[in-house]
Structure 1
Amino acid sequence: MLSQNQSKHIRTLHSKKFREEHGQFLVEGDKMVQELLEENHLEIVHLYAVKEWLTIHHKRLTKRNIPLTEILPAELERISTLVTPNQVLAVVRIPAVHINNQLPEQHMCLFLDGIQDPGNMGTILRIADWFGIPAVYCGPDCADIYSSKVVQASMGAIFRVFCWKTTLDSLCKALPEVPVLGAVMDGASVFEHKVPSHGLLVIGNEGNGIKPENLPLLTHSISIPRHPNSRAESLNAAVATGILAAMILRP
């Protein structure tokens, strides 16, 4: 049975302000929570689920010693952020990680410059996970990493890819020798030019691209050439990230 205080607390986590204040975020749905259970480094503060789900996963949950509350489908519907709630909701501690500025010295990492659409943000995390990109640095005006829409769109990648908020300027000052690749419309074709396989790949805002103040920080300007017959103005930011990652990190 869900208490009034539990219900109130969970609903506050729908808001960025209270996610930051409590240091917690929500993970919802059978598939997402099952992926979460595979990640022992993440602390599940409390798990709320319908009876059938708890019965199926009883042994697995007992091993993790997770605080559990059985709730009714109607109660889950009241606390969920999903249009169609799916059996289970977990309250998870936001990991207290220290920003690692050394990763781009050995790996290709992403810097997101004003990615504001939660769907794009989650998909980019999923792309990073697929291509083995260990870290995504997010500019200060990016979508909230731990919003429910980003978490759902990441399809579990948020559990495996390190994410930090910082500025490109501070990263470049900390790593003056690291290549900084930027996706710009008039850049060199990524299909024709050899580019470094480590450093930072900067992906700009969906509508405006990379901020003007960040353009001088780029060491390599690259692009995905448009077909001569195409009249499209631009590519979706997540689609562009996938194409660039595939080309830069190809064996």
Structure 2
Amino acid sequence: MLSKNQIKLITSLQQKKYRDQHQLFVAEGNKLVSDLVEAKTEVEFLIYTKEWKECNSIYNKAKINNRIETDATQIKKISSLKTPSTVVAVFKIPSQLINETVIQDSLSLILDDVQDPGNLGTIIRIADWFGIKHIFCSRNTVDLYNSKVIQATMGAISNVNIIYTDLEKLILKYKTPDFPVYGTFLEGEIIYNCQLQKKGFIIMGNEGKGVSETIQKLVTNKLYIPDFPNGQATSESLNVSVAASIICSEFRRQEF
């Protein structure tokens, strides 16, 4: 069973300052936990019910430091979900390594102050689906290890490198005539009329403010996702994760 100190530690990880302090994060649910374990993310605590253990083989996987069998009542105490799962895992935050060769020869996403956890988690899933290996986030982008972000990734977090950094310095480091910086703007060229390259940065902006002025100045290729039919009244804008999916899809479509 879980001790009082273990319950205190795990519940504290709902706050970013304690995740940073302990370098730990929480994942809940069989698929999400299983995917992270299979991806060799080190597990500090694997907490589960007897029924879950009887039906799952990941219990015997390596890199699980502490296995704790408990009951639904205790899991409810540490869960952030309205309907708690039968398994909760506390993972060590992995080091994120930047593969410069991959970055220079492929597409990467840049998130400029994206605030909604669901949007970040969904964008990570989109990147994973379309084979994008790096996402660079501004310092003010929502924390990757927020429980809502983790749940929204549905395990894709284990396949994509997410790095928080100074976006201006990052872009200036890689930006060349052969390495474009894409962004979406109302005054941009219709994306379906553009010949898109297989490498570069794709910038997605804040939900309310869009791409910041500082980063706008570094964009080399402005794209526009047209509404349809032209001239008909539609929604004011697209959700940032929806826009990201349309943009990534068109980049990949042009590679076929």
CA RMSD of aligned residues (A): 1.3
Counterpart of 1:75 in structure 2 is: 74
Counterpart of 1:92 in structure 2 is: 91
> d(CA) in 1 for partners of 2:226 and 2:61?
52
Q: Work out whether residues 175 and 181 of structure 2, in 8 Å CA contact, stay in contact via their aligned partners in 1.
A: no
Q: Shift in Å at residue 213 of structure 1? A: 1.2
Kindly provide the CA deviation profile for residues 228-248 of structure 1, in whole angstroms up to 9, marking residues without a partner as x: 213321001000000000001
> d(CA) in 1 for partners of 2:244 and 2:61?
38
> d(CA) in 2 for partners of 1:205 and 1:213?
13
Q: Work out whether residues 168 and 214 of structure 2, in 8 Å CA contact, stay in contact via their aligned partners in 1.
A: no
Q: Shift in Å at residue 207 of structure 1? A: 1.0
Counterpart of 2:157 in structure 1 is: 158
> d(CA) in 2 for partners of 1:65 and 1:193?
47
Counterpart of 2:11 in structure 1 is: 11
Counterpart of 1:56 in structure 2 is: 55
Q: Which runs of 5+ in 1 are unaligned?
A: none
Q: Shift in Å at residue 179 of structure 1? A: 1.2
> d(CA) in 2 for partners of 1:65 and 1:44?
6
Counterpart of 1:184 in structure 2 is: 185
Counterpart of 2:22 in structure 1 is: 22
SS at match of 1:64: coil
Q: Work out whether residues 53 and 88 of structure 1, in 8 Å CA contact, stay in contact via their aligned partners in 2.
A: yes
Change (3 A) 1:65 1:221: closer
Counterpart of 2:237 in structure 1 is: 234
Which segment is superposed worse, 72-81 or 100-109? 100-109
Kindly provide the CA deviation profile for residues 165-222 of structure 1, in whole angstroms up to 9, marking residues without a partner as x: 0122111222132211011121111111112221100001111110011111001111
SS at match of 1:125: helix
Q: Work out whether residues 180 and 221 of structure 2, in 8 Å CA contact, stay in contact via their aligned partners in 1.
A: yes
Kindly provide the CA deviation profile for residues 53-110 of structure 1, in whole angstroms up to 9, marking residues without a partner as x: 11222x4322425220011101000101111111010000111123444433111110
Report matched runs for 1:81-230 at 5 Å: 81-177=80-176, 178-227=179-228, 228=230, 229-230=232-233
- Which letter maps to 1:15? Q
Aligned length: 249
**Please, what TM-score do these two structures have when normalized by structure 1?**
0.95
SS at match of 2:186: strand
Kindly provide the CA deviation profile for residues 137-168 of structure 1, in whole angstroms up to 9, marking residues without a partner as x: 00111111111000001111111110000122
> d(CA) in 1 for partners of 2:234 and 2:21?
46
> d(CA) in 2 for partners of 1:97 and 1:235?
30
SS at match of 1:49: strand
Change (3 A) 1:54 1:65: farther
SS at match of 1:109: strand
Counterpart of 2:249 in structure 1 is: 246
Kindly provide the CA deviation profile for residues 104-136 of structure 1, in whole angstroms up to 9, marking residues without a partner as x: 311111000111000011000000000000011
> d(CA) in 2 for partners of 1:108 and 1:180?
10
SS at match of 1:191: helix
Kindly provide the CA deviation profile for residues 5-30 of structure 1, in whole angstroms up to 9, marking residues without a partner as x: 10000011010110011111001011
Q: Work out whether residues 101 and 175 of structure 1, in 8 Å CA contact, stay in contact via their aligned partners in 2.
A: no
Q: Work out whether residues 101 and 174 of structure 1, in 8 Å CA contact, stay in contact via their aligned partners in 2.
A: no
Q: Which runs of 5+ in 2 are unaligned?
A: none
